[in-house]
Amino acid sequence: MNRIRGTTLGEPMIKLHGMRLSGHSHRVELFLSLLKLPFEYVEVDLLSRQHKTPEFIEMNCFGQVPVLQDGDVTLGDSNAILVYLDARYGERRWMPRDVLAAAQVQRWLSVAAGQLAFGPAAARVIQLFKRPDDPAPAIARSHALLAVMEGELGKREWLAAPEPTLADIALYSYTAHAPEGNVSLDDYPNVRAWLARIEALPGFVPMKVSPVGLRA
């Protein structure tokens, strides 16, 4: 079902094609909300392989959610969408202009596509869809990542800079929902405090909690 957030008559409409259970989709939804941008959420039924239809492949050749449509712009990949939205609507406030700080943000975007995707996200998928895969490697990767994040967040409040950046948005969703993949956050107080800081940002919207794993 489609849902429209924050729209007024006559405003141009951004469309976000995503799936409620997807942390990749949520990170874009969250950023749109933080930017106070009106958008329409178009639910994509992955279970019926709607993301593999010719119509969807036309929007994203990789057949993955999310996809953003903004006027004549159609863009896939959640991290790429974050960069685009910040450059166009966020006045580059979420990607530092300083070269080194921007590189630090990019490093964490790579983590979001790497260790986060193959750690907390993968462990959660196994529980969410009852896959037969052994969850132990994904859980181990999750704790290895959380240990690094715990150390970094002991030095500063945000991952890459003195203020929140795209790094924090990209890492939030799957970290917050790691317990759904049987990954406890109990031993990571700095990570939990960081999650709370993101949740206190004006415009924050939560991701739907799934009753699986440690949240069953």
Domain CATH code at residue 131: 1.20.1050.10
**89, 107, 138: which is the final residue of a domain?**
89
Q: Please say if the pLDDT value at position 208 is more than 60.
A: yes
Position 97: which residue type? Answer: R
**38, 54, 89: which is the final residue of a domain?**
89
Does 78 lie in the same domain as 133? no
Alpha helices in 35-156 (DSSP H): 54-59, 78-89, 99-113, 115-116, 122-128, 136-153
The answer to whether residues 18 and 25 touch, using CB atoms and an 8 Å cutoff, is yes
Give a yes or no: residue 211 inside a domain: no
pLDDT tens digit sequence for 29-39: 999 999 999 99
Give 64's pLDDT tier (boundaries 50, 70, 90): confident
Does 112 lie in the same domain as 139? yes
**37, 59, 89: which is the final residue of a domain?**
89
Does 141 lie in the same domain as 50? no
Domain CATH code at residue 57: 3.40.30.10
Does 132 lie in the same domain as 77? no
What is the model's pLDDT at position 160?
A: 96
Q: Which two tokens stand for residue 63?
A: 């057949």
Does 84 lie in the same domain as 103? no
Q: Structural domain tally of the chain?
A: 2
What is the model's pLDDT at position 1?
A: 36
Give a yes or no: residue 43 inside a domain: yes
Does 40 lie in the same domain as 118? no
User: What is the extent of the structural domain holding 183?
Assistant: 99-202
Does 68 lie in the same domain as 31? yes
